[in-house]
Structure 1
Amino acid sequence: MDQNQNQNQNQNQREEKMKSRDIDWSEICIDALRLILESLSFADFHRAKTVCSNWYSVSKSCVAGSRNRYPWLILFPESELCFKLLDLRHGKIYKTKGLEDEFPNPKSRCVASYGNWLLMLSHRLKFSIFNVFTGERIKIRSLSLRGNVRIERKNNGDFLLEHSWFDRETIINRYIKTAALWIDEETKDFVVFWIYNDQYLFSYKKGDDSWWHFEDTKCLAMAYNKEDQKLFVYTSDHFIKILDYSGDDDMPNEIVEGNMYLNHPFYYDLQPWEYMWKRRVAITTSGDVLIILSLKVLPEIKSQEKRLFYIFKMSVEGSEWERVDSLENQMLVFGDGWLTLEDAKEEDIGGGIIKSDSIYFVADDLWPPQAHTVFQSSAGVFDLARTEISWSRLPHYLSNVRWFVPGSDKK
């Protein structure tokens, strides 16, 4: 056997020996793993940290995982089984290639988001939680939808939501407009909330046997405080009620004693030239409850009508709601009532404005324009200091677009 044959045989033996070994990537050297994770793009970083618990633990100490969080745009094309993620600050676009098997039904609609996760609602009234970077999907117990308008509990403890049977998609798009989501990225514990027809509040927590319904209370808006696991609900009689989800019971407990908002209903007297479109509730990083109104204002010259957002917070004395003009270096995503810390200066990069003390919205969050007016885009940013709107420069008008804030909560 000549020397070349000898070398080839030895090489083949080494390769076979390597193939036979079980490589445990979870045991890779921490310093080496940290270098690998730091070298990845934002999207790949969030995919990689889900490999195992060790990779997730190391990712918490990476610079890539502690960057400031700010809103991205997510676009849901109607004819494709993928969507685009737009990082406007860095001018990058990510596509969800290779996730076709995990992607929800093309007719699904995103009704809420939290970090890298979306709460999706299908045309059959089935909810699921979907990770935009990994494609992981968590199915949630479904409700039924049929018949005429009424809500009743079935024998197995689930709910039967009844409405017109012949136009289910229109009903879902029209009557389910407010939802919220929280999920722990490591344990996958979650809780979801949604309001039907500006009245009925439903919630479902991981491990529950059935959905819970807030009876005898009409609900208009809500926000979840993950720190103490409490849901703040804005009711039709203009009070804030607090539901505690921290217990192990199948249903939350309503907090009465200690609820500073119960004796102070929120009222805003619209001026003759003001028209209210929507309201949302948000929780600040310090735990304060905010009520945000989307309005249209008609000055003396009607052609100069403006669309504005007003923010209200309980006074320091806890005696009345007062209007505030700043988010104190935070950003707010209007649709989700989600605030994020961000101290960056104003930037105009990649076709969109990223700055603090601003409210991020989509076109449907504003009073519809006059018939002869066309929005420049389907998403924009409201500067609270200037009371001005900047539209994100998208190539064309997209109705199925949404702001979300990717990344993990800072520990």
Structure 2
Amino acid sequence: MTSPGDVDWSEMCPDAMQLIIESLSCSDFHRARTVCSKWYSVSKSCVAGLWNRYPWLILFRESSVSKPPTKLFTKFSDTNSCKLFDLREGKIYRKRCLGDKLSESRCLASYGNWILMMNPSLDFYVLNVFTCERIDLPSLSLPGEVRFPRKDDARFLEQSWSCLDREMAVLWIDEKTKHFVVSLICDDKYLFSYKKGDDSWWRLEGTECLAMAHKDQKLCVYTSDHLIKILDYSGDIPVEIIEENPYLNHPFYYDPKPWEYIWKRRLAITTSGDVLIILSLKGVLEYQEKILFYIFKMNLQGKEWERVDSLGNEILVFGDGITLAVASGKEEIRGGVIYFAPDDVWPQANFPSSPGVFDLATTKIRWSPPRLIYRPPSIRFRWIVPRI
């Protein structure tokens, strides 16, 4: 008789693997595909048609509040845990991760199943929200002009969060090889990046940066002089692309109308490779305030930035500059919409402090889901787009 310890699970029949994997929940599926390379390969081939990619919500609880009020947030007292909310299926997955308290850390970016986290000591790490696999990044050495406090400063915690209050970051990672790139803009000026295998963080000199997006080993950066720079990350160090940059020397300008107030700017890259500039605004018409999003794309023939009113069959996740095509026939997941988190829009009392979906065609918002509209202030949200 063969004991359980003698079984080589990698030699299981692929058809049997497929039956097992297809019967698992989404959370268990992501753990199963890490068993070995053969299980990973079968998972890629056998479930590609089962789930279409679409945004989920990840919820982090602040450590300062002990009694979350609604049913969704009950049993959420562990400061090392987060919750994954599949809105389409109406399922909630609770994930507990060892190490830093997630309630005291900040989620800066997401890509697929991975999130970029920063704790109050300015330590950065990349975390898989399904398997809880963690990749630690080296300490970030910052230039003197940023004036970050020393870690032995009694006011370090308060000042460090303040210095990064306007930060934005992007993350890219290969699910199989774990090759990754992290880029961070600090204080609306300084661009730092780190990729797997580097000894330290790299800094872009001589350029102030406001927004960025990453795709296919290239980082597009929106600079303070309203230009788009493109950096190639395929080599040992990032190299600026000049001759093949169609946006070079074509600045983007938008003068808001008297009733428009710009809140944030973001970049995104479509599935076809086009760079988009997205503005999050507040509009005031007839004494009524309204959340708006404007999208601009360059007309490569006329070399002019033009406002566009459609994303076609693609959806956009505002915070991470991610776009993805929607599979045809899935009416519950429509293209032409922007997924946003509470921090992405103008902070006004008459707007619900919850995530939402903005329809470009109608300019209407679907607050998602209704039971999160009056969420406790102790909960932080972020959209992620799980990959299979």
TM-score > 0.5, shorter chain as reference? yes
Change (3 A) 1:142 1:282: same
| Pick aligned residue for 1:284 from 270, 284, 303 | 270
What CA distance in whole angstroms lies between the structure 2 residues aligned with 1:207 and 1:178? 23
* Structure 1 position 32 matched with structure 2 position 12: no
Cα distance in 2 for residues equivalent to 1:318 and 1:133: 46
Contact 1:326 1:384 in 2 (8 A): yes
Out of 337, 341, 354, the position equivalent to 1:358 is: 337
- Separation in 2, partners of 1:318, 1:163: 47
CA distance, structure 2, for counterparts of residue 294 and residue 170 of structure 1: 27
Give yes or no for the alignment of 1:18 onto 2:3: yes
Matching residue's letter, 1:172:
W
> 1:11: which partner in 2?
none
Q: Which TM-score applies when normalising by structure 1?
A: 0.84
Percent of aligned pairs with the same residue? 61
- Is residue 346–residue 356 contact of structure 1 (8 Å, CA) maintained in 2? no
Counterpart amino acid of residue 112 in structure 2: G
Partner residue in 1 for 2:66: none
2:343 is the counterpart of 1:391: no
- Corresponding residue for 1:185? 175
2:145 to 144, 150, 159: 150
Paired residues in the alignment total: 364
Per-residue CA deviations over 1:272-310 (Å, capped at 9, x if unaligned) read: 1111110000000000000000011111x22x1211000
Q: Once the two structures are superposed, what CA deviation does each residue of 1:306-342 show, in whole Å capped at 9, x if it has no partner?
A: 1100000011415101011111111111000011111
Question: Does the C-alpha gap of structure 1 residues 318 and 230 become closer, same or farther in structure 2, counting only changes over 3 Å?
Answer: farther
Counterpart in the other structure of 1:405 = 385
297 and 46 in structure 1: CA distance in 2 versus 1, 3 angstrom threshold: same
Residues in 2 aligned to 1:277 and 1:70: alpha-carbon distance in whole angstroms = 26
Alignment check: 8 A CA contact 1:181 1:191 kept: yes
Asked whether the equivalents of residues 345 and 356 of structure 1 are also in contact (C-alpha less than 8 Å), the reply is: no
The CA deviation string for residues 67-103 of structure 1, in whole angstroms up to 9 with x for no partner, is 321111110012322111111111111111xx34256
Q: Is the 8 A contact 2:126 2:134 kept in 1?
A: yes
TM, length-normalised to structure 2: 0.89
Displacement of 1:168: 2.9
SS at match of 2:61: coil
Kept after mapping to 2: 8 A contact 1:72/1:86 = yes
Confirm or deny: 8 A CA contact 2:342 2:355 kept in the other structure: yes
Distance 1:298 1:57, change over 3 A: same
Distance in 2 (alpha carbons) for counterparts of 1:102 and 1:177: 23
Where does 1:282-361 land on structure 2 (aligned, <5 Å)? 282-299=268-285, 301-302=286-287, 304-343=288-327, 346-347=331-332, 354-361=333-340
SS at match of 2:222: strand
Shift of the alpha carbon at 1:22?
1.7
Give CA deviations for 1:248-291 in whole Å, capped at 9, x if unaligned.
x2x21111112111121000111111111100000000000000
Q: More displaced, 389-398 or 77-86?
A: 389-398
Structure 2's unaligned 5+ residue stretches are: 64-77
Q: Is the 8 A contact 1:176 1:194 kept in 2?
A: no
Task: State the match for 1:231 in structure 2.
Answer: 219
Identify the residue that residue 231 of structure 2 maps to in structure 1: 243
Which residue in 1 is equivalent to 2:207? 217
User: Could you list the runs of 4 or more consecutive aligned residues of structure 1 that deviate by over 6 angstroms after TM superposition?
Assistant: none
Give the letter aligned to residue 379 of structure 1: P
SS in structure 2 at match of 1:298: strand
C-alpha distance in 2 between matches for 1:339 and 1:70: 10
Cα distance in 1, alignment partners of residues 351 and 156 from structure 2: 29
- For the pair shown, which has the larger CA radius of gyration, 1 or 2? 1
> How far apart are 1:358 and its partner, in Å?
0.4
Q: Which residue of 1 aligns with 2:355?
A: 379
Distance 1:234 1:138 in 2: 28
What is the deviation of 1:104?
Answer: 5.0
2:242 aligned with 1:256: yes
Partners of 1:272 and 1:327 lie apart in 2 by 27
Question: Secondary structure of 1:32's match?
Answer: helix
Tell me whether 1:123 sits opposite 2:102 in the alignment. Answer: no
1:181, 1:231 → 2: CA distance?
A: 10
SS of the counterpart of 1:359? strand
Q: What CA distance in whole angstroms lies between the structure 2 residues aligned with 1:100 and 1:287?
A: 35
Cα displacement (A) at 1:45: 0.9
Structure 1, gaps ≥5 residues long: 1-13, 152-160, 348-353
Counterpart secondary structure, 1:269? coil
CA distance in 2, matches of 1:283, 1:169: 35
